[in-house]
Each structure stands twice: as structure tokens, then as C-alpha cells.
Amino acid sequence: MQHTVVDRIEKIAEDTVALHLRGTSGPLAPWEPGAHIDLALPNWLTRQYSLCGDPADRDSYRVAVRHERLSRGGSEYVHRFLRRGRALDVSLPRNHFPLVPAPGYLFLAGGIGITALLPMLRAPAAAGVPASLVYVGRSAGAMPFAEELRASYGERVRIVATREEGRPDLAALAAESAPGTLVYCCGPDAMLAAAEAAFPAERLRAERFRPAHRTFGPDTEFEAVCARSARTVRVAADDSLLDALAHAGYPLPSGCREGVCGSCALTVLDGEPDHRDDIGAPEGRMYACVSRARSARLVLDL
Amino acid sequence: MIQTAARPRRLSPADVRARLGEPEEMIKAKIQDRIDAHFHRFIAHSPFLTMATADAAGRADCSPRGDYPGFVKVLDAHTLAIPDRPGNKIADSFRNLAENDGIGLVFLIPGLPEMLRVNGSAYPTDDADVLARMRTEAREPELALVVDVAEAYFHCGRALLRSRLWDPASQALADEIPSAGEMVAAQSGLDIAPDDINDALQEAYRKLY
């Protein structure tokens, strides 16, 4: 955890505010574009937001929060009740969406998904690597950072207000893009689905800010063997691995508890996990809040 | 128990009013017919409330509801929604509301002596948008109560202050109460080990959603 204070709350678009969080216990942890932090809100909810400020700024973080129509209490809290001067604890930055070297980049942002991509444009632009952004939103007024992007990156940025222009043709974008171009997409489900249809999987990197609607096999009981402590924990069909481990005396950090934030990552030594997260667990890792087991037992590095 | 000689005498409403005097104008004026920004903020920080309902014959019931602060959603200035989390499935409140839609709520915020009272009428719903706002740990409640607000007002903090409810030292009172298992085992008259009941409760408390 890092201690911060809310320095400024700034309305940056319809339904969207930027929070400027100043570190109050020394310099804030460094981060790379694509990273997010957990915000521990005063109403006990933890929410994940992409860092969208300047990575070189070690004094403060910037995140942008859209007021969700069906807020469960996170974005509503930030918009209606959070006040300047309030102390907030934030996690260390985590990055499931790193910018990897490529001969060129195409960034696809949908709505508030721009926050994850905004800091990614700077490095390729500075290095002269081809990079362009297609930023899609309902209307110009509902799209944060549009001016900032236009001013900094000019022609590299295409802003599409769907209310006037409809949705962009991703298949056409795919046909135009140079081979080897990596596509980074962050936006709502419909946009991610369209990107998955238009671009080959090996060229597409996607980040969701909400769990995808998917169905899984029935939840079944399995065993978690904690290798370092030589103990076996039974995970009942109606229990999660995260909760069963906590109950057995292995409390893991947790944030969203729905397979999006990645704070409950575990190292798997043996057995076959049933990955149900939306992060895309790397080989040998799993997220204990939602993921279960295909094999009767999993061996964990605990 | 100490036996009293006779049942305590019953006062008429006029007797009661004579003893208490008339409420001050300021107190009457504080009753609002809507959830304004202050009440909204209060509800957004309240993790606990009590809910009073009664059946058609007026037989009353009061039950607690609790979750993270703001678990009660303010749908608009005249409407609240309260999630129905897994409980004892007795559903007294729902049964009462089906006969008599009147409801009285008292919201508490730990540390704060003042309470918020909301009275109105209520009905159950499974509205998808309402339940979506209540999803916790990837689970939505099966039902929610929609409360149409008739009146809302702050209740002064004297009861909370006299009760020392938020004083950490008050928690020593809990040490004087036998465990739930001991009480239930004794009350049921059955041959159940209190610790079995306590274990079962601990197991049930693990799954709060």
C-alpha cells in the first residue's frame, strides 16, 4: 500500500473526473504505460483504475473515473462523495497490459478505455516508431483527453464520435495496418469483440475493465496442496480458492474478486488450473478469486 | 425475576403528549419528503440499518440489514433500493410488506451519534438494473426492496451517546453473553453440543454473499 491524498478532482468530460493523487509517504512507485492501481475507497470498496498521468512524475498519480450508470458504489462514490484532501491508500502499480517492442502500434480506445492507452503513445512517438490511435466514444463531450491527445499527437490521433459517424470499420483498419503492427485495445465488450474479429490474436493485446460474460462448467470440489507448508486445503464446490485458502490460514491480497485486477495471483507448481479470469494468466500463474481446477488437485507455491 | 404487584398502567395518547410537551417547530421542520444530497451522503456511508414492517393486523417486526457502506442504493430523490442478501430465509419483512407496504428504516454510521430515519412504503423487485448495482463478489442478490420515501429526517444522537454504542470500551459487554451455541442449545432443549452450533455458525459466516 502507498499513502496518497486527493489533491484535485477535475471534471474532464461528461460523467468523467480525473483524480490527482499525491503521495504522502515519499516518492510513489514507478510504473510503465498500461499499469493500473487499486484505489481503497472510504466505503471499503476497492476499484482498479489505469494510471493515465506522466510516468516520470513520482509525486502524483492521475486516474480518470467515469460515473457508471449502474455503479455498485465505486464510481458513484468517486463522483459524488470523494472530497479533495481525503487520504486514500493505493496499491503498487500492476501491469497486465505492457507495451512490448514492435515495429508499429495501433491503439484502439473505447470510451474510458482511453486511460490505459493514453500513456502508451508517448514512447513510440518520441522514438519515431509508427503509432496511431483510434479513439471511439459516444460524443465528443463524453470523451476525456480528446484535446490533450490532439494537441500532443495531431495526425496520429483519430477521434470517432459514434453518434455522428457510427462505429469505425475495424476490418478496414486491419487491412491498412502494416504487417507486424501490434494492436492494443481497451474498451467495452462490443469493441473488444469487434477487435478480436478483425485482428489476428497474435497481434492483439486487449484489456477489459469489466469481466466478460462467459459461462463455465459446473463448480466442482478440488484440493489445493500448499507445497511449501505441506498442507492440503479442500476447496468445496460452493467455495472459492481465495476464500478456502484464507480460511485455512493463507490470506492472499484481493481486490475486485471477479478476475479483473490480478491482486490475488498465485504460482501453480502442478495440476491444471481452470482459468476464469479476464486478465489472461501467464504460464504457471492463476487468480484465486475466480479460477478453479480442471484436475483433482493443484499444487501451489504456498 | 422481580414480580411487580400489577401490570404497569397504560397512558392515553393525551397523557403522553401532556408529559412530553409539544415538539419544537425546528424539529417538525427537519422532516423532509425527499433524499437530498446530505441524506444521500449519509446513506452512502451507512453499513447498517434496522427495518420495521408490520402485517395487515399491525403485528410488528424489526430486522437488521448490513453490508458495505452504501449498500442501500439511492435510485432517485424519492426512491431507495435495499438488497436482500442470504439470511435465514424466514422472509418476515417480505410477508409483512405483501400485506402492508409500510416500512420504517433507521440508518447508522459507526462513530456517528446521529441517525437517519426514513419512512415510506416498499415492495420487492428483481429488476435487473437494480440488482446489477448490488453485485458483490461476483454475486447478485436474488431480490431487492424498493422503498418509496415519504419522509426522511435526522434523529438526534442522544440515544447513541447514552448507549455509548461507538465507545470501544462498550465491547466488553459482549464478554458477558454466552456463545450463540450455548444459548441455542439450552433454548432448544435438544441434546446438541454448543460447539457444534458455534462451528456451524462460523462455517455459515464464512459465506456472507
Q: Which residue of chain A comes nearest to B37, CA vs CA? A: A80
Question: pLDDT grade, residue A213 (50/70/90)?
Answer: low
- Compare B47 and B86 and report the one with higher pLDDT: B47
Domains annotated for chain B, with CATH where assigned, are 24-162 (2.30.110.10), 177-206 (no CATH)
Least confident of A57-71, B43-57, B89-103: B89-103
Say if the Cβ atoms of B132 and A81 lie within 8 Å. no
pLDDT tops 70 at residue B88: no
- Distance of residue A262 Cα from the nearest chain B Cα, in angstroms: 14
| Residues of B in Cβ contact (< 8 Å) with A247 | 206
What sections of A177-226 are H helices per DSSP?
A: 189-198
Dump pLDDT digits (tens) for A31-45: 999 999 999 999 999
User: What domains can be seen in chain A, in order of their start residue?
Assistant: 2-90 (2.40.30.10), 105-207 (3.40.50.80), 222-300 (3.10.20.30)
Residue with cell 463524453: A142
Q: What is the pTM of this model?
A: 0.86
pLDDT tens digit sequence for A252-300: 888 778 888 888 999 999 999 999 988 888 899 999 999 999 999 999 9
Does the distance separating the beta carbons of B132 and A70 come in below 8 Å?
yes
Distance, in Å, from the CA atom of B138 to the CA atom of A258, rounded to the nearest integer, reads 6
Q: What are A10-33's pLDDT values in tens digits? A: 999 999 999 999 999 999 999 999
Residue B28 banded pLDDT, cuts 50, 70, 90: low
Q: What digits encode the pLDDT tens for the residues B32-63?
A: 999 999 999 999 999 999 999 999 999 999 99
**Chain B residue numbers touching A44 (CB-CB < 8 A):** 47, 68-69
Q: Which three cell numbers stand for residue A103?
A: 515495429
Q: How far is CA B152 from CA A156, B71, B133, in A?
A: 54, 18, 23
* Backbone angles phi and psi of A16, in degrees to 5: -130, 130
pLDDT given at position B107: 98
**Across A182-191, average pLDDT:** 94
| Model ipTM value | 0.87
CB A250, CB A261: distance < 8 Å? no
Q: Using DSSP, state whether A76 is helix, strand or coil.
A: helix
Average pLDDT, chain A: 93
pLDDT of B3 strictly over 80: no
Percentage of chain A beyond pLDDT 90 is 81
Q: Which residues pair with B147 in a beta bridge?
A: B80, B122
CA torsion angle A165 A170 A171 A175 (round to 10):
110
Do the Cβ atoms of B136 and A72 come within 8 Å?
yes
A220-253: pLDDT as tens digits: 999 999 999 999 999 999 889 998 998 899 998 8
pLDDT value at residue B173? 97
Give me the percent of chain B exceeding a pLDDT of 90: 68
Lowest mean pLDDT among B33-37, B108-112, B198-202: B198-202
Chain A contact residues (CB < 8 Å to B) = 42-45, 70-73, 76-77, 80-81, 211, 238-239, 243, 247, 257-258, 290
Contact A238 B207 (CB under 8 A): yes
First CA to last CA distance, chain B: 41
